[in-house]
Amino acid sequence: MNAYTLVTGGTSGIGFAAAEKLIEEGRQVIITGQNRARLEAAAEKLGCMGVVANSGDTDSVRALAKQLRDDNIRLNGLVLNAGVFIPAGFEETTEASYDETFAVNTKGPFFTLQALLPCLENPCAVVFVSTIAVDKGFTGCASYAASKAAAEAFVRVANIELAPRGIRINVLRPGVTATPIQDKAGISDSDKQALFNHMETMALGRVLTASDHAGTISYLLSDASIAMRHAVIQVDGGYVL
């Protein structure tokens, strides 16, 4: 029985690009998404299996794990990519948006990894998709940055505790990337274009795209990174130079 790689939040953006590359490399891939229509469309386009799951809902996460167990599916790779960005200034951040951000970005990967432990092979590579906002301050990103930083902290501990199971976890920190997350966050087209235009001043000379991160994810899942634990690879196009 061949093992699979699971990519959470694989219907668009970095998750979709990563799944696409992994499939091109010959991996069997499963993607998750919370919207059934978008999930089915993405899975059909990729030619892979899709499972409806909401990373911010622990019952949904446990149902995902049960389905994989019931289907005798084993995982040798896991990409904890699902995330949410709700921009708001520190003073304007509501408790509801803060809770939603942490539910998806921190609680989500924590309990997804926990629930999927019985499905993980020995060895198994896990990649957590974080953000450059952990390392660099951006206005309007306080709860988002905090949620990803908290997740990076639990990843450090999980690396120690799960090492006897052959599980290793490393971190990708994407810089500003053109993905549907900006539209979902309600950023206007003019503000979005101004942001992307500003990215042309960095060393890369353009805004990052989702596919710019797929190679890093592939590397962190491969045996080439076998000796890495809690390595943080920041792919920002030179933004912080």
Active site residues: 144
Contact 47, 98 (CB under 8 A): no
Name the residue among 159, 156, 133 with its Cα closest to residue 146: 133
Q: Which two tokens stand for residue 42?
A: 């993405």
Nearest-5° Cα angle at 223, 121 to 165: 30
Rounded Cα distance between 41 and 44, Å, is 5
Rounded Cα distance between 40 and 51, Å, is 9
Cα of first residue to Cα of last residue in the chain, in angstroms, is 46
Q: Which two tokens stand for residue 203?
A: 């060393």
CA torsion sign, 239 to 151 to 105 to 120? Answer: positive
